Amino acid sequence: MQVAIVTLFPELFTQFFQTSLMGRAKESGVVSVHYEDLRPHGLGKHLSVDDTPYGGGSGMVMRADCVVAAMEAASAALGPGEPVHRVLLTPQGRRFTQADARRLAEKPRLSLTCGRYEGFDERVRSFVDEELSLGDFVVTGGEIPAMCLLEAVIRLLPGVLGNDDSAREESFSEQCGGLLEYPHYTRPVSFRGLDVPEILRSGDHAKIKRWREEQAQARSAVRRPELVSAPAPARSKDKR
């Protein structure tokens, strides 16, 4: 997968792509990353990429001409090939889900644009494929949401986790019916009066499987009841 990141702070991503699974993915060539610094696309002596909003109001708005120029440069930097799928990180976007992570993991070329200040000039939205948000809250910039999105996507790419089955049976997965995952336990058997359920030590795999399904259902009903009533995610045709 080729990834381009449009940001005023490319240095924030340096350590991210040197650490743990993201570092492994980049080092192994599963992912290549291009950072497109927004600042050189700015205007005037100070290379400004923002301006005061028409109609008045507080804060500064990121200029459409500067942002779109950076997005186009980022796409060009990835070279010829399939179209680059452009994503805008903004609180006004559709909420990002595990289904989105699976969908974006199928894209060979991905561009993420990180906002700052009061937000983007509305016209920027005409030059992206979709807008995504991590949830109903606002942060200072789109860089941390971009990292969250990238980790959710890249960990699904073949070879990144080491064992591809690790991503198949987890919360929100097809194998879990879109529900929360069942509880996990490991040693010690007893810890401060809390014991590992006996059924998990029984060796009866059929009973263990049934227990885990029941636990996933019960846990989801309490913590995320909307998942219980939602239709299960469609199973992927990927037979890897």
Q: Tokens in use for 170? A: 């987890």
175 and 150 in a common domain: no
How far apart, in whole angstroms, are the C-alpha atoms of residue 36 and residue 128? 16
pLDDT of residue 163: 75
Query: 208 and 111 in one domain?
Result: no
Q: How many CB atoms lie within 10 A of CB 138?
A: 10
pLDDT (tens digit per residue) in 162-218: 777 677 778 888 878 899 999 999 999 999 999 999 999 999 999 999 999 999 999
Alpha carbons 237 and 240: distance in angstroms, whole number: 9
Task: Evaluate whether residue 19 is within a structural domain.
Answer: yes
- Residues 35 and 145 grouped into a single domain: yes
Count of CB atoms situated within 10 Å of the CB of 8: 20
Q: Which residue carries 């060979």 as its tokens?
A: 108
Q: Going by C-beta distance under 8 Å and a sequence separation of 6 or more, which residues neighbour residue 155?
A: 21, 161, 167
* Residue 103 is assigned to a structural domain of this protein: yes
User: Among 120, 154, 188, where does a domain finish?
Assistant: 154
Token pair belonging to 188: 């010690």
Closest CA to 123 of 67, 175, 79, 71: 67
Whether residues 55 and 119 fall in one domain = yes
Task: Say which CATH number the domain at 115 has.
Answer: 3.40.1280.10
Whether 9 is covered by a domain: the verdict is yes
Q: Assess whether pLDDT exceeds 80 at residue 37.
A: yes
Asked if residue 235 belongs to a domain, the reply is: no
Same domain, yes or no, for 172 and 129? no
Euclidean distance between CA atoms 87 and 78, whole angstroms: 15
In a domain, 78, yes or no: yes
Q: Are residues 10 and 127 in the same domain?
A: yes
Task: State the pLDDT confidence band at 229, using cuts at 50, 70 and 90.
Answer: confident
240 pLDDT higher than 70: no
240 within some domain: no
Amino acid identity, position 49: V
Counted domains in the chain: 2
Tell me: do 150 and 200 sit in the same domain: no
pLDDT tens-digit readout, 109-142: 999 999 999 899 999 999 999 999 999 999 999 9
- Print the domain residue range for 197: 168-229
Residue 231, C-beta contacts closer than 8 angstroms, at least 6 positions apart: 178
- Per the domain annotation, does 161 fall within a domain? no
The enclosing H or E element of 207 equals helix 205-223
Pairing mode, strands 130-133 and 61-62: unpaired
144 part of a folded domain:
yes
Q: Final residue of a domain: which of 154, 177, 201?
A: 154
pLDDT greater than 60 at residue 221: yes
